[in-house]
Amino acid sequence: MPLNTIALELVPPNIDRGADHARDEAHKVLQLSAEAGIAGRIGHVMIPGMIPEDDDRPIEMKPKFDVSDFWSVIHPELPRVHGLCTQVTAFLDESALRSRLTELGRAGFEGIIFVGVPRTMNDGEGGGVAPTDALSKFDDLVANRGVILIPTRDGEQGRFDFKCDQGATFGMTQLLYSDAIVGFLRGFAQSSDHRPEILLSFGFVPKLESRVGLIDWLIQDPGNAAVAAEQAFVRNLAASEPDIKRRNLIGLYQRVIDGVAELGYPLSLHFEAPYGVSKPAFDTFAEMLAYWSPHT
């Protein structure tokens, strides 16, 4: 069954901040949801499994809560909200990965997105289970098996089709800062019989992005003109006044929804505030939901 959900991404906090900070984050989500008029509409929290990546990451990676530990702290504070997470598979052998997935299932995660090695490594490195192999090896253990979908990446049509052949039930897009996903899904519908659920990812861009560049770093793909255009859009958003920023983000959301709604894919939403949840982010997400949501 499709997840049919609105998922909010919450990054595990640094361990040195302690469990009280994690609980405060859950309370903040409840407060901001209520203030934005979307109380009770978030169906899942999506928790990424964080691993060290490139040395040039704009925000230093410090030791963070494990996905399961973070969820155990915030879950009691978020009534009727379920869990999704990403799991890096490439550094665990089959036995260790099965144990990990069993643990996540018992903790209450309803879907797991299998991801591979960091950008500093090549596919196949890591010594563990490849994400595409995990999709089929653990279909008895994980009902909702997800993959990352990057519509601007070269060769992604064939890559995504293979992942669906292997057993992916849903794809969560990279943060969308163009409507490239529309053409991608239209083309995929013409070339493949697979109709996995698609979690469309939209991210708020605060003014801080102009100084830090975290979103620019997250979506980078050197030499890719389509991504360069998205990076330019992000820079413009970061430098814009709040009302212009919101209008441009809502416009993008509408173009994406209008373009993919009739293509035959089950659709869910994934909202992300890469610099942390905030009132402007929630107000923007609420306006998006007023236009379309999985439950309308």
Encode 197-226: b = buried (16+ Cβ within 10 Å), e = exposed: bbbbbbbbbbeebeeebbbbbbbbbeebee
CB 9 within 8 A of CB 270: yes
In this structure, which amino acid lies at residue 148? Answer: I
Residue 121: the pLDDT is: 56
pLDDT at 54 over 70: no
The answer to whether residue 296 is domain-embedded is no
CB-facing half-sphere around the CA of 257: CA atoms within 13 A: 17
pLDDT at 119 over 90: no
| Local confidence band at 287 (pLDDT 50, 70, 90 cut-offs) | very high
CB 25 within 8 A of CB 62: no
The answer to whether residue 74 is domain-embedded is yes
Residue 258: the pLDDT is: 98
Provide the domain count of the chain.
1
The answer to whether residue 66 is domain-embedded is yes
CB 65 within 8 A of CB 20: no
Residue 61: the pLDDT is: 86
Contacts of 143 (CB under 8 A, 6+ apart): 110, 111, 169
The answer to whether residue 147 is domain-embedded is yes
pLDDT at 80 over 70: yes
The per-residue pLDDT of the chain, averaged, comes to: 95
The answer to whether residue 1 is domain-embedded is no
The pLDDT tens digits for 128-177 are 899 999 999 999 999 999 999 999 999 999 999 999 999 999 999 999 99
CA triple 103-105-107, angle to 5 deg:
70
The answer to whether residue 244 is domain-embedded is yes
The answer to whether residue 73 is domain-embedded is yes
Residue 57: the pLDDT is: 85
List the one residue out of 73, 65, 134, 68 whose CA is nearest residue 105: 68
Here the CATH number for the domain that contains residue 122 is 3.20.20.220
Percent of the chain as helix, strand, coil, to the nearest 5: 45, 15, 40
- 248: domain range? 6-291
Residue 53: the pLDDT is: 59
User: What does pTM read for this prediction?
Assistant: 0.96
pLDDT at 223 over 70: yes
The answer to whether residue 113 is domain-embedded is yes
The pLDDT tens digits for 12-52 are 999 999 999 999 999 999 999 999 999 999 999 999 998 76
